[in-house]
């Protein structure tokens, strides 16, 4: 890979740094303001920083919600990958009307407004007697994300050279084994990336969580975040502080997969 | 990852390295004879989605052709055929929403794809800046829409940072009405929506670019290829399958774009940012005319169905090229 | 008072025993047996003062019912109605729902609430509850209100002193004052121009001042009201940005100190106290005596699938409807008590910020939503009027066009 960046690439990087750095800076600055300072024009950069919003956010509820979020995100990622990865592989390796229709259906499902799915799913979970359980949220989040994950993963399996699988099957490997030990490793960049994305999306999902949990104390972080905005007032510092706090685990997950991606690349480059 | 995998993968890498026009451009005849056995891999997804996704889809379609309000939601629905669609059309809101949705989708797709690929290419280089920038982008992407939308609402406000800069640099005499002019508002929410999709596209593109073997670039460098030639002849063809799926996902994202409109303009000023998904939301969950709202949503789904057919056909062609 | 309440409990235990249709759910032990029962309350409050009030209500109930427990559950405002309706579809839901009173019809039509008529007719303090605070749908009462919320004119006293004026009592004075404030480098007024029910709620005083009502549907009067607000934008008294403001942001903007007036509610008292670093006050909106200001606030009802509706009613009577509960609401969040006797309490009448609102209730208080609009059409009417209001402020439509479009939409929604 080419390590040097040309002037155009540098320009793009400067642009992106501004586009994403400024809002992030603004979020962090607001989280350290008192709510009286948020709307004062003269205090946009000069203000008395206070960690009050963080002190108010850091409590037992937050820790509990963090656990819920982790459970939901891990459960959803696992279930989505277990179902979505084979489906993506299957769609990449078959032809004919069936997989084509399947792909079309996935796109249509991806298009469903999430709000329109809440009420029917409420009925389904009600009849299964799993309302107010983490399982219901994991199932619904997975249903939301599987079409997305499958569509996204398919191209990564398309680029796995079929000769590799041919060679493995000549060596006597079965279909499952070929998938597991030939296709999966080659598609690993895509797997890590999509896995990370699924985790982050499940972490932030909010609509299903506030609808399918009926008792307090089950809500994940995303629902706590929503509580900062009400019809009677918006706690801006609180919202921004919670946004920063709830996203720190995201950063950890991303950084570790980023390492994996980079190291994976290095392994390839040495050979 | 199991141990025997690595050498195979490396071997694959070496053989793939010689092809510069798309790494997946060969499918031996032997392979094509028995592909359908692999349909079995679709089974878990088919069962799962049939249980949890198809029922809501059927309900949505049924709703679109029935009279469903808060009063009848939990009882039986009366089939009314095309009444809902006619009602929406007669009000004139549907047509306006379609035009706005198309404008919205075009902006989101153009910005999202161009800056997604551009960002991935620019961030391909290793180094601290790229690493931190990518982390910042993903961090911001993962923030909930209420946070990103609110931040941009502040930044684009008449006393916001953007307008302060525009006034201080004497680029404008009065604050730009980003969110409250009927002409600017749609563009502004579309811009913020694309802002929220660029990190995702960049990340996926980056993963696809990482799949190109370094030897390809080395060979190109020996042949004296410059940066643009590398992008045109190596990177763009290699990520073509990814481009196709990202294009589909970005267009779908644009078609269902709702969150930022909700947070930033609530469809306003007046009805200037009422796109199909937002109009559908207003009808179904503000006015509690579920039938009318479902029919509006169905229109958006139909638009995407056309897209799905195009996608499926382009995939056919991709396979026929082999 | 406790004796009376106990009497009510006895009377109702007798009449609810036979009509309880929800025993099939299992864990219900039926009746108002002492101890061990849980009352689930769905609400959408997250403001610290309002959360404190919910805790206070729980304490009041638990003190009156030792051993029983209240579980307050937050549901986001936007999800409340649909979640209650969806839950009812699955034959479940909370014991008590606290919701936006204006949307009672939606929840009732969706089967989310039980009629309260039997409980109310046996309630000894029924005479203290004005009919405007009871939510009646198709002839049955489904929700009560513990307090009333409404809009007034907040003013920044420091700015008014600087430009040398008194708080306005007429529309002409208000407009003169806004011009003076603008000349001195301040903003004139903040209000919500959001194209939804919040916008309609904020527009109502001004459009009724111009002569419009949902009874007369006078298009030229509505256009006059719209012309006035568009003029405020043209003169620079009101920022066009109002089209993106809900009711919270304009008040926070006012509290930052650079705007002379704000059209906003009594519930903002805590925000004013915490954020405003200037002297402020409230006067009634300077509208004509024939105009109206909506009387809003949360409705409280009993969920259809409550396992113990009797105990849920006891919760309401010992919190929202009890005098000490209503006084707690007044002191914690600045709410105006709904009970006639509590409204005369000196704690309320001596409060300089609450009295202008109390005056408004007596002179221009209007039923919210207007009784003229059929229940099923309320949301459509509010949305259409909010969109017209927003379109005028944002300059998307002329006042005449917006008025014509709004009246057409109102007529359509009223005809079903």
Select the highest-mean-pLDDT range: A101-115, A143-157, A206-220, B301-315.
Answer: A143-157
CB contact under 8 A, B286 and C383: yes
- Does residue C19 contact residue C320 with C-beta atoms inside 8 Å? no
Mean pLDDT for B242-266 is 92
Cβ-based contacts of B23 with chain A (< 8 Å): 159, 161
Let me know if residue B188 belongs to a domain: yes
Select the highest-mean-pLDDT range: B81-90, B212-221, C20-29, C221-230.
Answer: C221-230
**Burial environment of residue A259 by CB neighbours within 10 A (0 to 12, 13 to 18, 19 or more):** exposed
- Does residue B135 contact residue A255 with C-beta atoms inside 8 Å? yes
Which of B270, B281, B294 is the best substitution to test chain C (most C C-beta atoms within 10 A)? B270
Q: What percent of chain C has pLDDT over 90?
A: 77
Q: Is C244 on the interface with A (CB under 8 A)?
A: no
Report pLDDT for C34.
57
C-alpha C87 chain-centroid distance? 24
- Rounded CA-CA distance C143/C112 in Å is 11
Distance from CA of B247 to the nearest CA of C (A): 31
Which of C24, C40, C70, C86 is the best substitution to test chain A (most A C-beta atoms within 10 A)? C86
Residue A44 has pLDDT above 80, yes or no: no
Let me know if residue A18 belongs to a domain: no
Which structure tokens are listed for C137?
Answer: 């749908």
Select the highest-mean-pLDDT range: A108-117, B212-221, C398-407.
Answer: C398-407
Q: How many domains does chain A have?
A: 1
Segment C236-292, tens digit of pLDDT: 999 999 999 999 899 999 999 999 999 999 999 988 998 899 999 999 999 999 999
pLDDT bracket for residue A169 (50, 70, 90): confident
Assembly ipTM: 0.86
Domains of chain C, residue spans: 12-149+295-340, 151-289+372-414
Segment B52-70, tens digit of pLDDT: 999 999 999 999 999 998 8
Report pLDDT for B229.
87
Mean pLDDT for B115-122 is 94
Let me know if residue B1 belongs to a domain: no
CB contact under 8 A, B304 and A108: yes
Q: What percent of chain C has pLDDT over 70?
A: 92
Mean pLDDT for B101-115 is 96
Report pLDDT for C301.
97
Domain that holds residue B238: 96-274
Q: What percent of chain B has pLDDT over 70?
A: 88
- Rounded CA-CA distance C369/C106 in Å is 12
Distance from CA of B3 to the nearest CA of A (A): 9
Region of poorest pLDDT, from A20-24, A162-166, C23-27, C195-199: C23-27
Cβ-based contacts of B282 with chain C (< 8 Å): 383
Residue B301 has pLDDT above 90, yes or no: no
Report pLDDT for A59.
83
Let me know if residue B84 belongs to a domain: no
Select the highest-mean-pLDDT range: A112-121, A157-166, B300-309, C105-114.
Answer: C105-114
Chain A residue with minimum CA distance to C276: A36
CB contact under 8 A, B270 and C394: yes
CB contact under 8 A, A234 and C248: yes
- Cβ-based neighbours of B146, under 8 Å, separated by 6 or more: A225, A226, A229, A239, B259, B263
Distance from CA of C390 to the nearest CA of B (A): 5
Chain C residue with minimum CA distance to B271: C387
Residue B157 has pLDDT above 80, yes or no: yes
Q: Is B276 on the interface with A (CB under 8 A)?
A: no
- Subunits next to C (3 or more Cβ pairs <8 Å) are A, B
Report pLDDT for B12.
33
Mean pLDDT for A242-270 is 69
- Rounded CA-CA distance C153/C263 in Å is 5
- Rounded CA-CA distance C322/C324 in Å is 6
Chain A residue with minimum CA distance to B2: A181
Report pLDDT for A5.
57
- Rounded CA-CA distance B45/B135 in Å is 32
Q: Is B150 on the interface with C (CB under 8 A)?
A: no
Report pLDDT for B35.
55
- Rounded CA-CA distance C146/C238 in Å is 34
Report pLDDT for C169.
96
Q: Compute the mean pLDDT over every residue in chain B, rounded to the nearest whole number.
A: 84
Cβ-based contacts of A225 with chain B (< 8 Å): 144, 146-147
pLDDT bracket for residue C2 (50, 70, 90): very low
Distance from CA of A215 to the nearest CA of B (A): 23
CB contact under 8 A, A36 and C256: yes
Query: Which class is domain C151-289+372-414?
Result: alpha beta
Which region holds residue C33: left if phi is over 0, alpha if psi is between -120 and 50, else beta?
A: beta
Let me know if residue A36 belongs to a domain: no
Residue A58 has pLDDT above 90, yes or no: no
Segment B69-90, tens digit of pLDDT: 888 888 889 999 999 999 999 9
Let me know if residue A27 belongs to a domain: no
- Does residue C68 contact residue C307 with C-beta atoms inside 8 Å? no
Q: Report if pTM > 0.90.
A: no
The CATH number linked to A134 is 1.10.3720.10
Residue C216 has pLDDT above 90, yes or no: yes
CB contact under 8 A, C387 and B181: no
Cβ-based contacts of B266 with chain C (< 8 Å): 194-196, 244, 246
Residue B317 has pLDDT above 50, yes or no: yes
Provide the angle, in degrees to the nearest 10, between the axes of the packed helices C219-234 and C378-394: 40
Helices (H) and strands (E) in chain A, counts: 13, 2
Region of poorest pLDDT, from C1-5, C57-61, C121-125: C1-5
Chain A residue with minimum CA distance to B281: A115
| Minimal Cβ distance to C109: which of B69, B153, B182 | B69
Report pLDDT for B320.
62
- Domain C151-289+372-414 in the same topology as domain C12-149+295-340: yes
Residue A174 has pLDDT above 90, yes or no: no
Residue B107 has pLDDT above 90, yes or no: yes
- Does residue A72 contact residue A144 with C-beta atoms inside 8 Å? no
Segment B211-235, tens digit of pLDDT: 888 888 888 888 888 888 888 888 8
Let me know if residue B46 belongs to a domain: no
Segment C82-92, tens digit of pLDDT: 899 999 998 99
Residue A177 has pLDDT above 90, yes or no: no
Q: How many domains does chain B have?
A: 1
Q: Which residues of C162-177 are buried (b: 16+ CB within 10 A; e: fewer)?
A: ebebebbeebeebbeb
Report pLDDT for A95.
83
CATH architecture of C12-149+295-340: 3-Layer(aba) Sandwich (3.40)
Let me know if residue B21 belongs to a domain: no
- Bridge partner residues of C152 (DSSP): C264
Residue B116 has pLDDT above 90, yes or no: yes
Report pLDDT for A262.
59
Report pLDDT for C28.
36
- Cβ-based neighbours of C83, under 8 Å, separated by 6 or more: A210, A211, C42, C75
Domain that holds residue A128: 55-268
Cβ-based contacts of A41 with chain C (< 8 Å): 256, 258
Question: Coil, strand, or helix at residue B293?
Answer: helix
Let me know if residue A96 belongs to a domain: yes
Question: Coil, strand, or helix at residue C288?
Answer: coil
Which structure tokens are listed for A135?
Answer: 């399982």
Report pLDDT for B85.
92
CA distances from B111 to A260, B105, B116, B251, C367 (A): 29, 10, 8, 11, 49
- Cβ-based neighbours of A152, under 8 Å, separated by 6 or more: A88, A190, A194, A197, B204, B245, B249
Let me know if residue A47 belongs to a domain: no
Report pLDDT for A55.
87
Mean pLDDT for B274-284 is 94
- Does residue C177 contact residue C168 with C-beta atoms inside 8 Å? yes
Mean pLDDT for C113-126 is 96
């Amino acid at each position: 890979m080419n390590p040097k960046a040309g002037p155009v690439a540098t320009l793009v990087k400067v642009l992106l740094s501004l586009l994403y750095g400024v809002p992030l800076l603004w979020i962090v600055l607001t989280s350290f303001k008192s709510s009286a300072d948020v709307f004062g024009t003269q205090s946009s950069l000069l203000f008395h920083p206070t960690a009050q919003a963080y002190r108010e956010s850091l409590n037992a509820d937050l820790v509990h919600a963090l656990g819920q979020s982790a459970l939901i995100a891990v459960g959803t990622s696992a279930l989505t990958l277990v179902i979505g990865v084979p489906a993506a592989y299957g769609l990449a390796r078959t032809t004919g009307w069936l997989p084509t229709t399947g792909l079309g259906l996935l796109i249509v499902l991806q298009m469903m407004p999430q709000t329109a799915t809440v009420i029917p799913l409420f009925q389904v979970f009600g009849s299964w007697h799993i309302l107010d359980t983490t399982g219901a949220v994991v199932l619904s989040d997975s249903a939301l994300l599987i079409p997305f994950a499958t569509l996204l993963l398919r191209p990564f399996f398309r680029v796995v050279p079929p000769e590799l699988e041919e060679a493995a099957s000549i060596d006597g490997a079965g279909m499952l084994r070929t998938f597991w030990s030939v296709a999966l490793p080659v598609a690993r960049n895509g797997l890590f990336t999509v896995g990370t994305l699924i985790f982050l999306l499940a972490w932030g999902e909010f609509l299903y969580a506030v609808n399918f949990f009926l008792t307090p104390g089950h809500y994940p972080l995303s629902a706590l975040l929503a509580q900062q905005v009400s019809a009677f007032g918006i706690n801006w510092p609180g919202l921004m502080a919670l946004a920063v706090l709830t996203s720190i685990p995201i950063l950890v997950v991303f950084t570790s997969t980023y390492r994996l991606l980079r190291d994976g690349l290095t392994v390839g480059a040495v050979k | 990852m199991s141990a025997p995998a690595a050498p195979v993968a490396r071997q694959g890498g070496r053989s793939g390295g010689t092809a510069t026009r798309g790494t997946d451009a060969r499918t031996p005849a032997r392979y094509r004879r028995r592909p359908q056995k692999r349909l079995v891999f679709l089974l878990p997804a088919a069962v799962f989605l049939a249980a949890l996704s198809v029922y809501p889809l059927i309900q949505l379609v049924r709703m679109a052709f029935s009279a469903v309000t808060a009063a009848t939601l939990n009882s039986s629905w009366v089939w009314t055929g095309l009444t809902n669609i006619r009602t929406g059309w007669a009000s004139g809101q549907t047509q306006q929403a379609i035009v706005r949705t198309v404008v919205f989708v075009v902006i989101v797709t153009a910005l999202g794809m161009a800056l997604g690929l551009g960002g991935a290419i620019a961030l391909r280089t290793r180094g601290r800046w790229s690493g931190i920038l990518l982390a910042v982008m993903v961090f911001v992407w993962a923030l909930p829409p209420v946070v990103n939308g609110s931040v941009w609402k502040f930044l684009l406000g008449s006393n916001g940072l953007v307008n302060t800069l525009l006034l201080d640099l004497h680029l404008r005499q009065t604050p730009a009405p980003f969110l409250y002019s009927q002409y600017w508002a749609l563009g502004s929410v579309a811009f913020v929506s694309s802002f929220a999709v660029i990190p995702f596209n960049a990340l996926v593109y980056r993963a696809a670019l990482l799949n190109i073997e370094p030897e390809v670039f080395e060979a190109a460098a020996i042949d004296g290829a410059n940066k643009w030639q590398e992008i045109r002849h190596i990177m763009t063809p290699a990520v073509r399958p990814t481009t196709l799926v990202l294009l589909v996902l970005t267009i779908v994202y644009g078609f269902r774009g709702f969150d930022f409109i909700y947070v930033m303009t609530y469809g306003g000023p007046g009805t200037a940012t009422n796109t199909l998904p937002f109009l559908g939301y207003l009808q179904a969950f503000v006015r509690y005319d579920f039938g009318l709202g479902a029919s509006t949503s169905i229109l958006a789904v139909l638009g995407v169905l056309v897209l799905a057919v195009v996608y499926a056909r382009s995939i056919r062609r991709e396979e026929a090229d082999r | 008072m406790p004796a009376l309440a106990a009497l009510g409990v006895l009377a109702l235990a007798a009449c609810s025993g036979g009509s309880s249709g929800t025993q099939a759910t299992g864990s219900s032990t039926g009746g108002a047996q002492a101890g061990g029962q849980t009352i689930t309350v769905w609400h959408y409050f997250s403001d610290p003062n309002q959360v404190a009030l919910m805790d206070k209500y729980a304490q009041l109930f638990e003190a009156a019912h030792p051993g029983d427990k209240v579980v307050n559950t937050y549901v986001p405002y936007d999800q409340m109605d649909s979640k209650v309706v969806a839950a009812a579809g699955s034959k479940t839901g909370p014991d008590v729902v606290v919701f936006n009173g204006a949307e009672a019809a939606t929840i009732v039509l969706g089967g989310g609430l039980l009629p309260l008529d039997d409980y109310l007719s046996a309630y000894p303090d029924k005479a203290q509850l004005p009919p405007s605070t009871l939510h009646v749908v198709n002839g049955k009462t489904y929700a009560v209100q513990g307090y009333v919320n409404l809009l007034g004119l907040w003013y920044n006293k420091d700015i008014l002193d600087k430009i040398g004026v008194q708080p306005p009592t007429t529309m002409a004075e208000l407009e003169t004052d806004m011009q003076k404030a603008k000349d001195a480098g301040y903003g004139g007024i903040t209000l919500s121009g959001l194209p939804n029910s919040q916008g309609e709620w904020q527009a109502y005083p001004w459009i009724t001042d111009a002569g419009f009502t949902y009874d007369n549907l006078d298009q030229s009067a509505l256009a006059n009201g719209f012309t006035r607000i568009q003029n405020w934008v043209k003169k620079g008294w009101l920022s066009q940005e109002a089209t993106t403001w809900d009711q919270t942001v304009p008040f926070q903007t006012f509290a930052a100190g650079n705007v002379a007036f704000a059209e906003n509610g009594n519930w903002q008292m805590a925000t004013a106290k915490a954020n405003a670093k200037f002297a402020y006050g409230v006067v009634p909106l300077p509208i004509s005596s024939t105009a109206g200001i909506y009387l809003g606030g949360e409705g409280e009802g009993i969920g259809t699938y409550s396992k113990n509706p009797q105990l849920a009613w006891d919760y309401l009577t010992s919190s929202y409807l009890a005098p000490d509960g209503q006084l707690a609401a007044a002191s914690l969040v600045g709410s105006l008590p709904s009970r006639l006797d509590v409204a005369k309490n000196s704690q309320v009448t001596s409060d300089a910020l609450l009295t202008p609102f109390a005056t408004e209730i007596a002179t221009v208080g209007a039923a919210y939503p207007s009784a003229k609009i059929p229940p099923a059409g309320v949301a459509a009417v509010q949305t259409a009027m909010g969109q017209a209001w927003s379109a005028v402020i944002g300059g998307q439509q002329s006042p005449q066009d917006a008025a014509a479009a709004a009246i057409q939409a109102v007529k359509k929604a009223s005809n079903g």
